Amino acid sequence: MLRILHFSDIHLRAPYSALPLSDIGPKRLLGAANLALRREAHFREASRKVAALLPFIEAQDVEAVICTGDYTALGTQEELRIAHDAIEKLTHRRHGFITVPGNHDVYVNSAVRERRFETHFAAFLHSDLPEYVADKPWPVVRLINDDVAVIALNSARPNPQLWRSSGIVPQAQLDALARVLADERIASRRVFLITHYAMRRRDGKYDHPWHGLTNADALVAVASQHSRLAILHGHIHWTYSHTLHGLSGRVFGAGSATFAGREGVWLYELDEGRATAIPGRWNGDCFVLDHGKSVAIFGA
Ligand SMILES: [Fe+2]
Ligand SMILES: [Fe+2]
């Protein structure tokens, strides 16, 4: 039995004294600080909950861990360093750690220019199929075992306007995804396609243009070429899953592992004949599984 933990949107932050003006720029500072302050109450115990993921994955004998981004609030060097240190202990499972950035990890242009996420998280961005890398280092492909692969695409980008937080999977990555899915080593495996942005909201509707994935339909169209593929995402701070017409597997939003009152994760269990997703929640002290709410990952 292969067990994979999927968590997201832990939104750790550094003290405001560590917020460099050069990162944010005076015009944005007020808005950024306002946003961060409003979020702070929700993520007050974020570090404690991230630390609790370690005993959880040990108890569940998890062999691979996936995080779908939004490690930070503002994507500063200090926040990314804190976030990396917080998750480091989760990265030593037998089949490793696979991840993508969220929009908060590339909140400002300087974060992208300096390739901060790619620097702090470099150890987790190598691909087992480097011949398909089209938008360095994406797509990251990981052959977990003979039966399962994970493909990571980056959909996060800075948004110059404060009120916008939309994402896009660049065309070069979509084209590369189509080529990867046609590769026999991927076509024969069960696939988890991971990215930060959601395909749909919790109510099944498209996300708002200012908040959603602008080319969700294009991504789903390419993903639908594969016969056993599920999509994993973060960004929306609710834990949920749904089907999509044409897609062979379900879509799983991990929500946030640290958002007070809504903490959630997914645990995926796969053996030869079965693939089941079990939602996990925070009970105030530790993460626990809701086995009664399990769903099949691929097909009905
Ligand atoms: Fe988030
Ligand atoms: Fe996000």
pLDDT single digits (tens) 9-35: 999 988 766 667 666 665 466 666 666
What per-residue confidence (pLDDT) applies to 74? Answer: 86
- For residue 70, how many other CB atoms are within 10 A of its CB? 27
Ligand nearest to the CA of 212: 2
- C-alpha of residue 121 to centroid of ligand 1, in Å: 18
Q: Note the pLDDT of residue 15.
A: 76
What is the rounded CA–CA span in Å between residue 268 and residue 5?
A: 6
Q: What is the pTM (predicted TM-score) of this model?
A: 0.96
**Regions of the chain with pLDDT less than 50:** 27
Instruction: Give the domain 2-296 fold.
Output: Purple Acid Phosphatase; chain A, domain 2 (3.60.21)
What distance in angstroms lies between residue 271's CA and the mean position of ligand 2's atoms? 32
Ligand nearest to the CA of 237: 1
Contact 287, 53 (CB under 8 A): yes
Other CB atoms within 10 Å distance of the CB of residue 162: 13
Q: How far is the CA of 198 from the centre of ligand 2 (A)?
A: 9
Kindly identify the ligand whose nearest atom is closest to the C-alpha of 259: 1
CA distance 133 to 80: 24
Contact 213, 174 (CB under 8 A): no
Q: What is the pLDDT of residue 24?
A: 62
Interval between CA 7 and ligand 2 midpoint (Å):
13
Cis peptide before 209 (omega within 30 of 0): no
Distances (CA, A) of 174 to 115, 135, 178, 222: 21, 10, 6, 7
| Residue 110 confidence (pLDDT) | 84
Distance (angstroms) between ligand 1 centre and the Cα of 272 equals: 34
Indicate left, alpha or beta for 61 from its phi (over 0: left) and psi (-120 to 50: alpha): left
Instruction: Write out pLDDT tens, residues 203-218.
Output: 999 999 999 999 999 9
Which pLDDT belongs to residue 224? 98
Helices vs. strands in the chain: H and E counts, helices first:
9, 13
> What is the model's pLDDT at position 31?
62
For ligand 2, a single-atom ion, the residues with CB < 5 A are 70, 102-103, 235
According to the model, what pLDDT value does residue 50 have?
A: 98
The amino acid present at 160, given as its one-letter code, is: P
Residue that the structure tokens 């897609």 belong to: 247
The alpha carbon of 46 and the centre of ligand 1 are apart by a number of angstroms equal to: 12
State the distance from the centre of ligand 1 to the C-alpha of 256, rounded, in angstroms: 7
| pLDDT the model gives residue 184 | 98
Q: What is the CA(104)–ligand 1 centre distance, in A?
A: 7
